[in-house]
Homo-oligomer: A and B are copies of this chain.
Amino acid sequence: MKKSIGIHMPVYPAPVLIIGNYDEKGKPNVMAAAWGGICCSVPPCITISLQKIRYSYNNIVDRKAFTVNIPSEKYVKESDYFGMVSGREHDKLSITNLTPMRGEKVDAPYIEEFPVSIECKLLQTIELGTHVMLVGKVVNTLADEECLTCDNYPDPEKVRPIIFTPKYRRYYALGADLGEAFHMGRFFMK
């Protein structure tokens, strides 16, 4: 039996996306975003939602570029830290001993140690309230060779992404394989 619990957003799973950008002096900066994901297939676009007060916000708007880095679970402490302090006061990549690399196609840095990095050009900003949606067009994707399938695509079981649970505020690992998408549903097709 369901009951109303008020206005909440237990949208499970939420991702842990580490957003790379350069500040006005060219210093590499990162932040953690859990409000975000794919928003269009063609053109390939990702949206992330930021508060305007975030240090990353002006950086991204000024350079019209950001990267979306997928941390593996072994970097859960680093990823959490990226969401706790501001790049205005802290050089987060130096402190965590991670390596910023210059994007190949955009004016933003990606994190070498994370298994997947997606380079985005800023397409649109949409103001909603506390948060502004930034829509970025994907122009290049980088992946650690060790996490690739034979088809040259990141294997989630090797990437080991982190799963966030909004408001409940815990991180989880990827669990058991539940089956093949666009296939299991055939059970209901005569």
Tell me the minimal C-beta distance from A23 to chain B in angstroms: 19
- One of B117, B152, B168, B187 near A153 (C-beta < 8 A): B168
Q: A38-B11, A81-B187, A184-B76 are in contact. Are A144 and B1 (CB under 8 A)?
A: yes
Determine how many copies of this chain the complex contains.
2
Please tell me the number of chain A residues within 8 Å of chain B, measured between CB atoms: 107
Q: A40-B49, A129-B43, A171-B178 are in contact. Are A68 and B11 (CB under 8 A)?
A: yes
Q: Which residues of A contact B (CB under 8 A)?
A: 1-15, 17, 34-47, 49, 68, 70, 73, 76-85, 95-96, 101, 104, 110, 112, 116-118, 123-124, 126, 128-131, 133, 135, 138-145, 148-149, 152-156, 159, 161-189
